[in-house]
Structure 1
Amino acid sequence: MQVSVETTQGLERRLTISVPAETVDVEVKNRLRHIGKTQRINGFRPGKVPPSVIQKRYGQSVRQEVAGEFMQRNFVDAIVAEKLNPAGRPAFVAKSNEDGQPLEFEATFEIYPDVVLKDLDKIAVERPAVDVTEADLDEMFETLQNQHKTWKENKRKTKTGDKLTIDFNGRVDGEEFEGGKAEGFELELGSGRMIPGFETDIIGMKAGEEKTITVSFPDDYHAEKLKGKTAEFDIVVHTTESAVLPEIDDEFAKLFGVETGGVAALREEVGKNMARELNQAVKAKVKEQVIEGLLEVSELDIPAALIAQEVDVLRKQAMKRFADQMDPNNLPELPAEMFEEQAKRRVKTGLLLGEVIKVNELKVDEAKVTDLIESAASAYEDPSEVIEYYKTNKELAQQMQNVALEEQAVELLLASANVTDKKASFKDIMNPEGK
């Protein structure tokens, strides 16, 4: 076998490979001989078909078959010999495939780039310095109270926080519009469910009252025909109700599965959960900054083949999400361009983290895997069942090992990064920008 390597452009390589004629011809003849012994052809007894007939009928297809196999086999031998690492499937082109002539073919493919890790100390990270405070716990208990509130009918003027049962009928330019009419509609004032002005203009009404309000649809409203339009709504209030919050006592604690220890035990449990979620959120923010910094300081050619593969993965994931939400027959065709930037980022991140793992000879820390599984399981009612499920599911276990190894790489990068601790609050981390 003769091999030559050519750099066409960037990461693309072209191998020209020549296989001796004798090697190919012998294999072709052996296969044709086998066909002659086993193939039934009208007019000839089994095993007595003349070689010329076999050659005429099957020669070309057998040679093509043999050539394909030799291309695959010799390509593998060639990339091993030339120390090349393909990043995708090769495109084969046979240049010569005739009887008595060497099989000559070209294989064009991309290789993985040489990844060089540098300027890691220029990665800048602001690490949130934050703890769960008593005030955070108090606010969380208010949220829990609101989640279990009940309603009591009132006869007073409505205010923010009340729940109303109303009818409404909207018009734009004197014409009713789709979605602008409802009867027996329940609305909690202050929830922000309706367009700006709708809820505030109802405040102060009583049960049995009617009113016409004028509001404007936002310029970015989802319905094109209503964007920026002024609308009138006829409002009829049927009932108004006030929220009744449960007392924070032992019975309240039992609502959350705390049978003993009362409010103190519930407070301790909620505090632990908040601390766990806060820790996970801080780690995620730090990791995001480390990855972003790594991408910024690293220049890297990315194989188009890997981007295409990642685009395909992302597109299939998106299609699956759409399929869960709408009629499969009406699924849109999602263009590759939608996912290209995300795919590039993911491939580049994977290549860089892979190099960090390789250079530093990182191995999976099983203790970290256990911590990750236990952390994930703690959010469920029966953590032991979830832990056992991870242990018995090879695919999930492998995924968690990959996550652990990636975290180890991020921790190593963090150790050499420029890190500053920045004071933050629970709200800053868990509810940024009030989202």
Structure 2
Amino acid sequence: MTSSLKKLKDLERSLTVSIEKDLYQSKFNEKISNLKKNVKLDGFRKGKVPNDVIEQRYGGSVHAEVLNDLIQDSYPKEIAEKKIRPANTPTISMVEDNPDKGIKYNAVFEVFPDIKPKVSSWKTFEKHKINILDEDIDHAIQDILERYGDWEKVERNSAENDQVTIDFEGTIEGEPFDGNTAKDFKLVIGSKSMIPGFEDQLINKKINSDFEIKTNFPDDYFKKDLAGKEAVFKINLKEVQENVPSKINKDLYEKLAMEVKNEKEFRDEIKKRMENESVTQEKALTKDSMYELLLKINKFSAPQCTIKEQSELMRKEALSRIGRNPEEESDNDLFPLDTFKENAEKRVKLDLLFTALLNHYDLKVNQDDLKEFIEEEAKRYKDPKQFETWVYNQPNQLDQYRMIVLENQLVEKLDNDLKSKDKVINFKDLSKY
């Protein structure tokens, strides 16, 4: 058996494998002999049917089985021998399909890139530090009070931050479109739940009034057939409600699962939660900046097949978020795969680079670090020991935590090898990142 590997384009490869006729014939004869033992044909006793009769009747199917067996056996051996890492299942085509001359087939597939990561550069990543001001705490408390407040009906024109109940019907060039109507739709003006320009035009409208608004779908709107187009909406404003914020009291503490006794302790607890959130956000933003730098200094291609798989996964996630069943959803117009390609490629490249960096640093999961991480996670639960026991009996969850610990180890290594600069951001600006 011989083989040759050819580079087609970028990460696409073509492997041609030749199999000697003697090997083919040996496998073919073996299958015919095994078949002969059980074949029953009129005029012959079981096991006594001549080979030429069996070949005449079953030769085609036996030939197909032998070809399949030879390919299934030879392909992984040749891949292993040549130390190739295929990224997908190969497309097989026959080059020579003549038992008298031998068998030759061609396998076309993509390979994973061989990445030798660079971990030094004159460029820098940003280490984020989040600054919490008193006004940030005030704003956070006000948000909580409004979130846990009540909506009360009012008899006045609508204003920003009101919750309105509307019926609407939209058209584009006089024609309806998918999702163009709703009845008794509740919307908080200023929540940015709708396309830009929609909510602003609901301000200062009378209850029970009918009116029209015009606005454009964004150019990058996920439904390509609507992107950039002007829509006209007929609106009936049925009700206006304003928010009556909650009081800072025992009932609110219980709703927030806070063990505090007074307003000062409540404020301190809010600040503590914001500080904890800031630590998490600082790490995430710093890590993202670090990975962005690594992608800039490590240029490589990702397999198109893997990018497509990731795009399909992201599309399913998007469908699930809007309540659609990804397994039943067949309408590609809602979320075309191209919508996700750029982010999918980035995610695939980060995964490939992550693996290459783990190998570069020869990192393995530190069991003490894993144990410490799980213990810290357990502190968030009422019964920490019960949670720890559960984790150690959940292989998937344990693997997830192993990857987090590995990533923490990797980030620590990279922090030593890469240059950085500090970046201070205010808590109120977190939504921009």
TM-score w.r.t. the length of structure 1 is 0.76
3-state SS, counterpart of residue 317 of structure 2: helix
Contact conserved, 2:87 with 2:303, CA < 8 A, in 1? yes
Looking at structure 2, the residues matched to 243 and 121 of structure 1 have their Cα atoms a distance apart, in angstroms, of 54
CA change 1:258–1:14 in 2 (3 A) is closer
Cα displacement string for residues 258-283 of structure 1 (whole angstroms, at most 9, x for unaligned residues): 45644454444433322222222222
**Greater mean alpha carbon deviation, residues 358-367 or residues 210-219:** 210-219
The reply to whether residue 361 of structure 1 matches residue 362 of structure 2 is yes
Looking at structure 1, the residues matched to 290 and 321 of structure 2 have their Cα atoms a distance apart, in angstroms, of 29
Looking at structure 2, the residues matched to 361 and 404 of structure 1 have their Cα atoms a distance apart, in angstroms, of 14
CA change 1:245–1:404 in 2 (3 A) is same
The reply to whether residue 56 of structure 1 matches residue 56 of structure 2 is yes
Q: What residue is the counterpart of 2:120 in the other structure?
A: 120
Contact conserved, 1:162 with 1:243, CA < 8 A, in 2? no
Looking at structure 2, the residues matched to 105 and 169 of structure 1 have their Cα atoms a distance apart, in angstroms, of 61
Deviation at 1:60, TM superposition (A): 2.8
Q: What residue is the counterpart of 2:285 in the other structure?
A: 285
The reply to whether residue 392 of structure 1 matches residue 356 of structure 2 is no
Q: What residue is the counterpart of 2:403 in the other structure?
A: 402
Deviation at 1:98, TM superposition (A): 3.3
Q: What residue is the counterpart of 1:129 in the other structure?
A: 129
The reply to whether residue 195 of structure 1 matches residue 199 of structure 2 is yes
Looking at structure 2, the residues matched to 198 and 213 of structure 1 have their Cα atoms a distance apart, in angstroms, of 11
Q: What residue is the counterpart of 1:314 in the other structure?
A: 314
Cα displacement string for residues 345-370 of structure 1 (whole angstroms, at most 9, x for unaligned residues): 22222221211111110112445545
Contact conserved, 2:311 with 2:344, CA < 8 A, in 1? yes
Letter in 1 for 2:66: V
Contact conserved, 1:118 with 1:297, CA < 8 A, in 2? yes
CA change 1:386–1:264 in 2 (3 A) is farther
Q: What residue is the counterpart of 1:22 in the other structure?
A: 22
Q: What residue is the counterpart of 1:420 in the other structure?
A: 421
CA change 1:358–1:190 in 2 (3 A) is closer
**Greater mean alpha carbon deviation, residues 119-128 or residues 350-359:** 119-128
Looking at structure 1, the residues matched to 396 and 217 of structure 2 have their Cα atoms a distance apart, in angstroms, of 43
3-state SS, counterpart of residue 66 of structure 1: helix
Letter in 1 for 2:20: P
3-state SS, counterpart of residue 18 of structure 1: strand
Q: What residue is the counterpart of 1:88 in the other structure?
A: 88
CA change 1:378–1:328 in 2 (3 A) is farther
3-state SS, counterpart of residue 112 of structure 1: coil
Q: What residue is the counterpart of 2:143 in the other structure?
A: 143
Cα displacement string for residues 310-354 of structure 1 (whole angstroms, at most 9, x for unaligned residues): 334334434444553799477445544333222322222222121
Contact conserved, 1:158 with 1:240, CA < 8 A, in 2? no
Q: What residue is the counterpart of 1:67 in the other structure?
A: 67
Contact conserved, 1:129 with 1:421, CA < 8 A, in 2? yes
CA change 1:355–1:327 in 2 (3 A) is closer
Cα displacement string for residues 3-22 of structure 1 (whole angstroms, at most 9, x for unaligned residues): 33333333333333233322
Matches within 5 A, 1:16-415: 16-118=16-118, 120-150=120-150, 195-196=199-200, 198-200=202-204, 216-220=213-217, 227=230, 243=244, 245-246=246-247, 248-250=248-250, 252-259=252-259, 261-321=261-321, 324=324, 328=328, 331-332=331-332, 334-366=335-367, 368-369=369-370, 388-415=389-416
User: What's the RMSD between the two structures over aligned residues?
Assistant: 4.4
Looking at structure 2, the residues matched to 139 and 212 of structure 1 have their Cα atoms a distance apart, in angstroms, of 34
- Which consecutive unaligned segments of at least 5 residues does structure 1 have? 203-209
Deviation at 1:97, TM superposition (A): 3.8
Contact conserved, 1:220 with 1:227, CA < 8 A, in 2? yes
Radius of gyration: which is bigger?
Answer: 1
CA change 1:20–1:267 in 2 (3 A) is same
**Greater mean alpha carbon deviation, residues 404-413 or residues 68-77:** 404-413
Deviation at 1:29, TM superposition (A): 0.9
3-state SS, counterpart of residue 54 of structure 1: helix
**Greater mean alpha carbon deviation, residues 158-167 or residues 401-410:** 158-167
CA change 1:283–1:44 in 2 (3 A) is same
CA change 1:225–1:432 in 2 (3 A) is closer
Looking at structure 2, the residues matched to 259 and 312 of structure 1 have their Cα atoms a distance apart, in angstroms, of 45
CA change 1:58–1:144 in 2 (3 A) is same
CA change 1:112–1:379 in 2 (3 A) is same
CA change 1:432–1:38 in 2 (3 A) is same
3-state SS, counterpart of residue 87 of structure 2: coil
Looking at structure 2, the residues matched to 14 and 30 of structure 1 have their Cα atoms a distance apart, in angstroms, of 31
Contact conserved, 2:168 with 2:182, CA < 8 A, in 1? yes
Deviation at 1:385, TM superposition (A): 5.9
CA change 1:22–1:146 in 2 (3 A) is same
Deviation at 1:58, TM superposition (A): 1.7
Letter in 2 for 1:195: E
TM-score w.r.t. the length of structure 2 is 0.77
Letter in 2 for 1:3: S
3-state SS, counterpart of residue 127 of structure 1: strand
Letter in 2 for 1:360: Y
**Greater mean alpha carbon deviation, residues 45-54 or residues 78-87:** 78-87
Contact conserved, 1:125 with 1:289, CA < 8 A, in 2? yes
Letter in 2 for 1:196: D
3-state SS, counterpart of residue 96 of structure 1: strand
CA change 1:57–1:398 in 2 (3 A) is same
Deviation at 1:214, TM superposition (A): 7.8
**Greater mean alpha carbon deviation, residues 282-291 or residues 374-383:** 374-383
How many positions carry a matched residue from both structures? 416
3-state SS, counterpart of residue 273 of structure 1: helix
Q: What residue is the counterpart of 1:207 in the other structure?
A: none
Looking at structure 2, the residues matched to 242 and 17 of structure 1 have their Cα atoms a distance apart, in angstroms, of 73
